[in-house]
Structure 1
């Protein structure tokens, strides 16, 4: 085990029992085995069958075989991960996967899991940062993937974000531990795969420490993101959520933007584009009469005016949320 891998595991201190998201690939295989060695009898495996590729059944059979050999309880969910109109396939699969992992961890074992561990590593973090840069993302995007957060009553962890992916594969090879290769990882129609296969080797040659320095930049952005969220919460105490239009108008434009993004993400799970936010700001500034109408596409739904407030709704589900 490399020093980076060993240090990451030593620093990982989840609440137990721990569920590990196990796909059968190299990364999750290394995480599952390492955690089972450290906390024998306290580790569970959760596997999501997305139904998106023919190899999915082979992945499941592999996971069942390995978990049986290691005496690790395994729970499996089959989901329909097809995307809705206007939704990216990757985002749809992610949402279905996280919902399924949450349900498995809480409801499918004799003792529910207290934590879930995901196997994204340093290379994944670099890819996420580069994708964010390519989209012109703000601070939230440049923070990339968090190492820890809480949601749905569970602690979620990514303990391997400082560990290069090659370290995990080398350890598995030393252990003579099998894993499966996802054929979609070689498909360079996906931007993330082109980054992995073409750009990361160049970065390795030019900036050998790029994983460490990029991770440091993500950490700085994450700190700034936390401060912006704190500011949004303070402003929300004045504007209310959903926000009162007249109270929004009293804030500087930058704070209006920050509060709107916070409201849409944390209350409705949607992330608007810069152009959408700018169009909404223009309408907020112009909204001085009772008859002023607002209805603007915003992320996966629409922001509209109802009386003195802004509201967001998604016509796909026909549910309007305050």
Structure 2
């Protein structure tokens, strides 16, 4: 089994990577803390740094997706790391195969988050740290731009949020991926021993991998500070979205909407709002209701075309007999008397 380097202070202080060091020092989770660890460089660096900062207070969670032959090696690497450092490991095996018509990435993400949640709850841990970093954030933003996403997509990944009674953290969103590997190498680790490289990361059939291999080097050449500036734009989008959420919460009260409920706003109240405010309130409601009905946290966002059609139907809804039943995101929106309602019909 591959050797695992023991965390130690580098003899040369300049070996420490400032961005990573600052990120870990700034991180203030509740304890005990669980770190999601795949066995790759990013999550291994986060696990080692957290275990060093909070000895005896850190757990590791590993999710075995069963999607590739190398998965057993990932789990073995994480197990070796945890045994060497006396870190409790909670491993979960899941079936991450996607259903027909479902994105493989979305399917794997959904079961992974569900497994992380279940493992943390079983361990009595309420805080979970994930190792997505600055390069991941840039890739997320570029993917959102390619889809013509609105503010929620342009805000990219949040640094912290709560769901399912747990607090989730991404403390490394300001840290370039290369710095995490530099930090590990400074402590005597190298690929194949201190961490494993996922062979699927080189497969350019996946859009994220093409972005990483082709776009990020070009951006580095033209805009050397792109990670910081893109992160700043994502933060501005997140701030704007929070303001829109506050406006939607006010409009929800005015229209009788119960957030998170399948029962939506009163149609008359909706029609009293401008079209833009109607769209904002409907997006807010659909995000809320889907989060409440899908514990996996999948997306049921309305497409631009679906939302425009729904707004047109609301504008035309001048009589009691006007019928509304439209596919919106992962479910349907229909008229029930004087209100709108959302439901997710069985497949």
Tell me the TM-score range normalised by the shorter chain: over 0.9
* Deviation at residue 84 of structure 1 after TM alignment: 3.2
Distance 1:205 1:18 in 2: 38
* 3-state DSSP of counterpart to 2:265: coil
* TM-score under structure 2 length normalisation: 0.88
Distance 1:91 1:249 in 2: 35
Task: Name the structure 1 match of 2:3.
Answer: none
Task: Name the structure 2 match of 1:224.
Answer: 240
Distance 2:35 2:253 in 1: 38
* Deviation at residue 91 of structure 1 after TM alignment: 1.5
Matches within 5 A, 1:1-322: 1-107=16-122, 109=123, 112-177=124-189, 178-239=194-255, 240-241=257-258, 242-269=264-291, 270-316=300-346
Instruction: List per-residue Cα deviations over 1:20-41 (Å, max 9, x = no partner).
Output: 0010011000000000000000
5+ residue gaps, structure 1: 318-322
Distance 2:317 2:104 in 1: 36
Aligned residues: 314
Distance 2:248 2:105 in 1: 28
* 3-state DSSP of counterpart to 1:16: coil
Q: Does the 8 Å contact 1:27/1:165 carry over to 2?
A: yes
Distance 1:294 1:276 in 2: 13
Distance 2:334 2:284 in 1: 17
* Deviation at residue 290 of structure 1 after TM alignment: 2.1
* Deviation at residue 53 of structure 1 after TM alignment: 1.6
**CA 302–87 in structure 1, closer or farther in 2 if over 3 Å, else same:** farther
* 3-state DSSP of counterpart to 1:293: coil
* TM-score under structure 1 length normalisation: 0.95
Give RMSD over aligned pairs.
1.2
Distance 2:345 2:45 in 1: 42
* Deviation at residue 86 of structure 1 after TM alignment: 3.9
Over 4 Å off, 4+ runs: none
> Once structures 1 and 2 are overlaid, which stretch shifts more, 70-79 or 117-126?
70-79
Q: Does the 8 Å contact 1:86/1:300 carry over to 2?
A: no
* Deviation at residue 89 of structure 1 after TM alignment: 1.8
Instruction: List per-residue Cα deviations over 1:151-174 (Å, max 9, x = no partner).
Output: 111111100000000000111112
Instruction: List per-residue Cα deviations over 1:37-71 (Å, max 9, x = no partner).
Output: 00000000011111222211221111111111111
Distance 1:138 1:38 in 2: 38
Distance 2:287 2:171 in 1: 25
